Structure 1
Amino acid sequence: MCDVVCSGSSTYYWSLVDVVYLHTKQTYSYRIAHKKKGWKSSLLVPQDVLKGFLAGIVSHSNVTDNSIGRITCANVLSDVYATGCTKIDSLTLIISLSENMTEREQNTVMPLIMNGFRQNAESAGLIFNLNSAVHNPWCIIGGTATAVCSATEYINPLEAVAGQVLVLTKPLGAQIACNANRWCEKKERWEKLSKVTALTEIQTAYKCAVSSMIRLNKHAAELMHKYKAKAATDVTGFGILGHARNLAAYQKNKIKFVITALPVIKNVMKMAAVMGVREKFLKGTTPETSGGLLISMDEDVAGEYCNELKSIEGWDCWIVGKVVEGENEAIVVENPNIIEVEYL
């Protein structure tokens, strides 16, 4: 029996006596850019081959990086980790190569993606399978993760209680930082950004974003058991408010999630203002990719949770809100506390 569809992604939970089946599927599509006349590169792959949802992580300086594969793997696993389950039984990479790519481009891009995906899979203690690579008008990258676990290995995400607090395990603003990095490539856009920020600040924010997105939520999920978390979701495409609303809507108790603080990568707020997304960010609706876990837990252990996670990963996490009585909804308060996060 399907109990709930949670977190705004294709994650499904079936409860079978004391066994829980978890399955998640994530895909991303990339448009293929046409090569400009006279375009030259010493690299095997055009630096603007991949366009689309995660295009911002492909920069001219690191096109040979395997970050896309690592981020894809982290994001696929994140939905299962949000349930507290960290023992994955099956992980599959889904990839579709663009019919507009040359054979040389395909033979270069695909290994980069696979190597990145493999690197994070190995970090999670997993061996992944490759779904058949097919051709498509766009390059599509994604995957599926499946876990069959006992009830003790799984944290029911529907039991938040008024009086608890909300913890966020990764900073927000990764997509904005990546988009700002792309803005530097266009003269007219760079002129706007350069009035409020330096190139070094954009590059540092970009590095922070990539480092955050490739980081697995596995340790955060493991500690959820120790500190008896009662509900969690990962924060991805619908923004922190979208995922908080979706999680709140299915809670067994009459509660309301009140988000009072927004941790954000340093200098991203001034970039967001120039890019026209500052107000959207303050409302909690800017999309994230491979974001952290938003967790409801008791206030008296939340600080310990944050400290222990930092001792393991070297990254801060934050208490960003509270759980109060309400009608199963979520809000971001007016003028939330902005916490700037330094790149580590």
Structure 2
Amino acid sequence: MMSLLSNCTSGGCGAKIGPGELSKVLSGMPVFGDPRLLVGFDASDDAAVYQIDQDTAIVSTVDFFSPMVDDARSFGRIAAANALSDVYSMGGTPLFALNLVCYPERMELDALGEILLGGAEKIQEAGAVLCGGHSIYDKEPKYGLAVTGRLDPQRIWRNNTPAPGDQLILTKPLGIGIVMAALRGEMADEQAVQAAISSMQRLNKYAAEKMHSFPISACTDITGFGLLAHAREMAGEGTSLVLYSSELPYIPQAYKYAGDYLITAAAQRNRNHMQGFVDLGDTPFALQELMFDPQTSGGLFLSAPKSCAQELLSAIQEVEPLARIVGEVLLPQNSPILVR
């Protein structure tokens, strides 16, 4: 069977257009003033939220990319988990999904069937239903979902509303992009690859379910822009975020690969975009790279009151054992993001 990776120049969320380039393009878009549109693309949030009535809003998102692993079923699971994550990060519950497929004519259809089966497994696990989709021929295989969910319009988790005094929690380890780059270069340790694949396939559903019992100030999921660029979005104009470098969870081998300068083009784009917005202090280069590293189906990054953060972390660790309190929210400092 033809290799998925041999047909792709990039994969996963590392294939995303960089945040700087994307913001330039979106700056020319018209403003849509429908008062029922509670969250639109102007907020750089994870999904759109549209109010239906006083008690109900729908949350809608779309995400797809080319493979980052050779196993077709695993790729389908990862792509679906990644797309579903945007609904969880807004505080919503997925209702239904549509497949998005790009596939080369030269490739065997058996692999496409495996990709779709992997995606369907995750949709079922999410408690949602698959309703159809759209497919085209393309030079590279790509797969993902358009997902619609439901949420309470009074309890939206936005990505840019942390409160000074809050603590910050990250639910999954960093290093996915670096490990996948090592895999492409045939330098990856099997244990690291399995840790990365397991993390990418795991739904953020379970961490989000724990979070619903607590007051969440802000939430996003860490994807292609890396931890630091997502943290910059969360800080907004009204706060600064301090990240504790010693508390960051990461795949151990990814730190070694980064120290050996096994880095990605997407991480460099993220680093360039964050110039002037982050004070890295004396953070080692390898750890810097882990924070710039593009994550595929990464964890939830959330802000919650200090009074309940430890209890919330303990609850999340029941389903995500590597989750950690990784920082705190301050009134604006001389930089939006400070790493200490």
Same fold (TM over 0.5): yes
Question: Is residue 244 from structure 1 mapped to residue 231 from structure 2 by the alignment?
Answer: yes
Question: Is residue 298 from structure 1 mapped to residue 305 from structure 2 by the alignment?
Answer: yes
Larger CA Rg, structure 1 vs 2: 1
Percent identity for Structure 1 against Structure 2: 29
Aligned partner (choices 71, 83, 103) of residue 90 of structure 2:
83
Aligned partner (choices 219, 225, 235) of residue 212 of structure 2:
225
- CA distance in structure 1 between the aligned counterparts of 2:287 and 2:59, rounded to whole angstroms: 31
2:164–2:330 Cα contact (<8 Å) kept: yes
1:153–1:323: structure 2 CA closer, same or farther, 3 Å change rule?
closer
- CA distance in structure 1 between the aligned counterparts of 2:225 and 2:320, rounded to whole angstroms: 27
Which residue number corresponds to residue 71 of structure 1? 78
Aligned partner (choices 132, 135, 139) of residue 133 of structure 1:
135
Shift of 1:159: 3.2
Shift of 1:16: 5.1
Secondary structure, in 3 states, of the residue corresponding to 1:93?
strand
- CA distance in structure 2 between the aligned counterparts of 1:94 and 1:323, rounded to whole angstroms: 38
Q: Which runs of structure 1 show a deviation greater than 4 angstroms over 4 or more consecutive aligned residues?
A: 6-10
Matched pairs, number = 280
Secondary structure, in 3 states, of the residue corresponding to 1:323?
strand
- CA distance in structure 2 between the aligned counterparts of 1:69 and 1:9, rounded to whole angstroms: 24
When normalised by structure 2's length, the TM-score is 0.75
Note the alpha carbon deviations across 1:49-81, whole angstroms, 9 max, x for none: xxxxx43x22xxxx3x51111111111011110
- CA distance in structure 1 between the aligned counterparts of 2:334 and 2:120, rounded to whole angstroms: 39
1:181–1:140: structure 2 CA closer, same or farther, 3 Å change rule?
closer
Note the alpha carbon deviations across 1:231-256, whole angstroms, 9 max, x for none: 0000000001111112222x7xx211
Question: Is residue 121 from structure 1 mapped to residue 123 from structure 2 by the alignment?
Answer: yes
1:156–1:267: structure 2 CA closer, same or farther, 3 Å change rule?
closer
Which residue number corresponds to residue 266 of structure 1? 252
Question: Is residue 255 from structure 1 mapped to residue 200 from structure 2 by the alignment?
Answer: no
Shift of 1:12: 1.5
2:259–2:286 Cα contact (<8 Å) kept: no
1:321–1:207: structure 2 CA closer, same or farther, 3 Å change rule?
same
Shift of 1:157: 4.2
When normalised by structure 1's length, the TM-score is 0.74
1:7–1:247 Cα contact (<8 Å) kept: no
Which residue number corresponds to residue 330 of structure 2? 324
Shift of 1:205: 0.9
Q: One-letter code of the match for 2:58?
A: Y
1:69–1:94: structure 2 CA closer, same or farther, 3 Å change rule?
same
Which residue number corresponds to residue 28 of structure 1? 65
Shift of 1:133: 2.0
- CA distance in structure 2 between the aligned counterparts of 1:148 and 1:207, rounded to whole angstroms: 33
- CA distance in structure 2 between the aligned counterparts of 1:228 and 1:114, rounded to whole angstroms: 36
Secondary structure, in 3 states, of the residue corresponding to 1:95?
strand
Aligned partner (choices 183, 188, 203) of residue 185 of structure 2:
183
1:149-160 equivalences under 5 Å are 149-152=151-154, 154-160=156-162
Which residue number corresponds to residue 275 of structure 2? none
1:330–1:15: structure 2 CA closer, same or farther, 3 Å change rule?
farther
Which residue number corresponds to residue 201 of structure 2? 214
- CA distance in structure 1 between the aligned counterparts of 2:234 and 2:313, rounded to whole angstroms: 21
Which residue number corresponds to residue 95 of structure 1? 101
Q: One-letter code of the match for 1:28?
A: F
Alpha-carbon RMSD across the aligned residues, in angstroms, is 2.4
Which residue number corresponds to residue 12 of structure 1? 48
- CA distance in structure 2 between the aligned counterparts of 1:227 and 1:10, rounded to whole angstroms: 20
The structure in which a higher percent of residues are strand is 1
